[in-house]
Amino acid sequence: MITVKKPSEINKMRVAGKLTGDALKFIEEKIKPGVTTAEVNAAIQEFIVAHDAKPSFLHYRGYPASACVSVNDVVVHGIPSGYVLQEGDIVSIDVGVVKDGWQGDAARTFAVGKISDGAQKLIDVTRECFFEGIKHARDGKRLGDLSSAIQRHAESHGYGVVREMVGHGIGRDMHEEPNVPNFGKEGTGVLLKSGYTIAVEPMINAGTFKIKFDPDGWTTRTADGSLSAHYENTILVRDGEPEILTL
Ligand code: MF3
Ligand code: CO
């Protein structure tokens, strides 16, 4: 069942969402060569706790950290470690927050120092995919309209759209119905309604859409070793333009 959130619930999601977006702004300034991914995670965790909220990822299905920190060919779910960020890397940071029982979930991909034009293009197009997609996130449209817009934009640049992992409904739980794929067909799928809250999260690869998993069971990489970028926000569907809760 897809839940329509009440105004009072939406207000709480606004608070959780704002904190999620603020955590990403706070960490952006700390991303530079020489910083470890574990330090990035620790800073995010402190930020969330200092704002009387909880990191939703910590211990979720055994996940060992408060943020996912995914470098270069890591698509998502990179586990923070002693890896030292290098000039030229790209790093995707995914953060989830629970505040007053309600969830926010968002991700950005950042440049570490100076990066190649190709890497910057991948980051930019991935963000554009999100905004192309959410043009269709309005009452009366279908989820396939949103999904196909994301896919079209990514593929027009020759990029691969990850299939196995998708966006999701969000609310009291981090993952609620419906699934929100980044590929699909116009005019198909769930009918969107005002009051739905969903996390839209294109995961876009410079090469093949295929992925592989590390033995840790989390770290997800591009099958061909190409770069991957991720951009995610929690949004509220309305009659008209959606409200982005995690900017
Ligand atoms: N934001 C991600 C998602 O939407 C990551 C959560 S996985 C976790 O599914 F294990 F880190 F929590
Ligand atoms: Co998500």
Query: What pLDDT is recorded for position 247?
Result: 97
Burial of 165 per CB tally in 10 Å (0-12, 13-18, 19+): middle
For 7-244, CATH gives 3.90.230.10
Query: Of all helices (H) and strands (E), which one includes residue 68?
Result: strand 67-71
Residue range 158-169: average pLDDT? 98
Decide: 96 and 104 in contact? Cβ < 8 Å: yes
What pLDDT is recorded for position 167? Answer: 98
Residue 138 alpha carbon to ligand 2 centre in Å = 19
**Structure confidence at residue 36 as a pLDDT band (50, 70, 90):** very high
Residue by residue, DSSP assigns 221-233 as EETT---EEE-BE
Q: What mean pLDDT comes out for the span 101-114?
A: 99
Q: Average pLDDT for residues 119-127, to the nearest whole number?
A: 99
pLDDT for 226 = 99
* pLDDT band of 183, cuts 50, 70, 90: very high
Copy the structure tokens of residue 102: 């309600």
What percent of the chain shows pLDDT beyond 70? 100
50 burial type by CB count under 10 A (0-12 exposed, 13-18 middle, 19+ buried): exposed
Q: Does ligand 1 come within 6 angstroms of the Cβ of 229?
A: no
Parse the chain into domains and list their residue ranges: 7-244
State what percent of residues in the chain have pLDDT above 90: 100
- The average pLDDT across 140-147 equals 98
Question: From ligand 2's centre to the CA of 167, what distance in Å?
Answer: 6
Tell me the whole-structure pTM to 2 decimals: 0.98
Question: What is the reported pLDDT for 242?
Answer: 98
Query: Stretch 194-209: mean pLDDT, rounded?
Result: 99
* pLDDT tens digits, 225-237: 999 999 999 999 9
Q: Which residues surround ligand 2, an ion (CB under 5 A)?
A: 105, 199, 201
Ligand 1 contact, 63 CB (< 6 A): yes
